[in-house]
Amino acid sequence: MLPFIDLATQQARIRPQIDAAIARVLDHGKYIMGPEVAQLENELCEFVGSKHCITVSNGTDALIASLMALEFGPGDAVITTPFTFFATVEAIMSVGATPVFADIDPHTFNICPDEIVKAIVKTRQDGRLRLRAIMTVDLFGLCADYESINQIAKQNNLLVIQDAAQAFGASTPDGRRAPTHGLVGTTSFFPAKPFGCYGDGGAVFTDDDELAETIRSIRVHGKGADKYDNIRVGQNCRLSTMQAAILLEKLKIYQSELDARETVAAMYSQHFKRLNEQQNHDATIGVPQTPADNQSAWAQYTLRLKNREQIAAQLKKHGIPTTVYYRTPSHLLGACRKLGYETGDFPNAELAANEVLSLPFHPYMNKETISIVLTSLKTTVGR
Ligand SMILES: *Cc1c(COP(=O)(O)O)cnc(C)c1O
């Protein structure tokens, strides 16, 4: 079986540096909030162009800490996408707030600005919830349409919270990098994400001094002047020094990996476009679309296929693994049942859930591995 994501090649590339970084932490022994944590936060700020970075224990806690700092709770509503990993929705619900879904744009898989406007009108007319924010997700590494979303947010007095767990460092036409498009943005360092560590990790980014200070407090049990001066109810959600040390080494090669991801994606797309031109209409492959002047972080390379299950089974026979992100849109998950949504509420998200198929993808795919996937897919789609 071909690997779906290859983390071993990256590790081999920087293994001596990783070993040395871990050894330095073992030598100084500051396992919690050691010097690597602050250094990483500074370097991440520089990389994405943010004033503050607060590293935390994972991407879910990054969202929860942000919502806690902004005092979201029961009665508050947050507009978000139904086509995401459940953690986005879970964070909103875990602070007691209510997710209000808005359907996706079928071309980008990201939340659709027009649908956000509809959700705002509907929620405000209904009047039961206090609508306070839009939580965007940069799905598969591609930034949401922030030009439109930020304008809508401003007009409607809503905050923008950006879940860039899959898109760290991705950029929009204005040159901004995820997660710096909203008031506050988060990412995840889960190993399989574009910028991953060797365990759990995450971070929050903001330019707001007060918000940053509150999130730093929440990260350590709501500390005030020190850990034993507790001024609010927080959490324990620090990033470990060991993971920070590993991430510092990985950051040195991250831009080259983002560039390599772009190259691999372009090779895939070029081939599929050519294949589409040769095929009859029924066999059309939905190639991922990146709006002009966006650079995706390519967390996944995801096709749309009418006969997904058949193609996935055929590829498996050829030793090619594939994955479906996500088979069930959030509004239809058991955990969201109490929100009262039904099949048919978000047709674009539901159709995407039935058609998406992610191919093996990582920055270290070479021409040979890419062509193994392509050849198998060509024989499968062609039949
Ligand atoms: C992975 C992911 C998260 C959660 O990150 P963890 O570090 O696993 O907690 C949140 N949102 C999205 C969109 C993700 O893909």
Q: What is the pLDDT of residues 133-175, one digit of tens each?
A: 999 999 999 999 999 999 999 999 999 999 999 999 999 999 9
Which residues neighbour 264 within 8 Å (Cβ) at sequence distance 6 or greater?
A: 298, 301, 361, 362, 363, 365, 370
**Same domain, residue pair 228 and 327:** no
106 DSSP assignment: T
Strand, helix or coil for residue 303:
strand
Strand, helix or coil for residue 185:
strand
**Same domain, residue pair 262 and 246:** no
**Same domain, residue pair 231 and 274:** no
Number of domains in the chain: 2
Output the average pLDDT for the chain: 96
Which residues neighbour 15 within 8 Å (Cβ) at sequence distance 6 or greater?
A: none
**pLDDT band at 1; cut points 50, 70, 90:** confident
CB 83 within 8 A of CB 330: yes
Of 181-185, 305-309, 354-358, least confident by mean pLDDT is 305-309
**Same domain, residue pair 242 and 277:** no
Q: Residue 368 C-alpha to ligand 1 middle, in angstroms?
A: 31
Q: Residue 79 C-alpha to ligand 1 middle, in angstroms?
A: 18
pLDDT at 283 > cutoff 80: no
85-132: pLDDT as tens digits: 999 999 999 999 999 999 999 999 999 999 999 999 999 999 999 999
End-of-domain residue from the set 230, 250, 270: 250
The residue-averaged pLDDT of 69-97 equals: 98
Q: 1 lies in a domain?
A: no
**Cα 190 to chain center, whole Å?**
10
Q: 2 lies in a domain?
A: no
Q: Residue 187 C-alpha to ligand 1 middle, in angstroms?
A: 7
CATH code for position 160: 3.40.640.10
The residue-averaged pLDDT of 44-70 equals: 98
Q: 132 lies in a domain?
A: yes
- Phi/psi of residue 226, nearest 5 degrees: -150, 180
pLDDT at 383 > cutoff 60: no
Q: 178 lies in a domain?
A: yes
**Same domain, residue pair 320 and 179:** no
End-of-domain residue from the set 215, 250, 285: 250
Distance CA 149, CA 113 (A): 6
Of 181-185, 284-288, 293-297, least confident by mean pLDDT is 284-288
The residue-averaged pLDDT of 201-218 equals: 98
End-of-domain residue from the set 219, 250, 281: 250
pLDDT at 242 > cutoff 90: yes
Residues with CB under 6 A from ligand 1: 58-60, 84-85, 87-88, 137, 163, 165-166, 188, 190, 200, 202
Q: 335 lies in a domain?
A: yes
Handedness of CA 169, 86, 113, 291 (dihedral sign): positive
**Same domain, residue pair 170 and 221:** yes
Q: 84 lies in a domain?
A: yes
- Tell me the residue range of the domain where 303 lies: 254-381
Ligand 1 pocket: which of 85, 92, 195, 302 to mutate (most atoms within 8 A of CB):
85
Q: 86 lies in a domain?
A: yes
The residue-averaged pLDDT of 191-199 equals: 98
Q: Residue 177 C-alpha to ligand 1 middle, in angstroms?
A: 18
CATH code for position 376: 3.90.1150.10
Q: Which residue lies with its CA nearest to atom 14 of ligand 1?
A: 165
Give the C-alpha distances (Å, rounded to integers) separating 87 from 94, 164, 165, 302. Answer: 10, 12, 10, 20
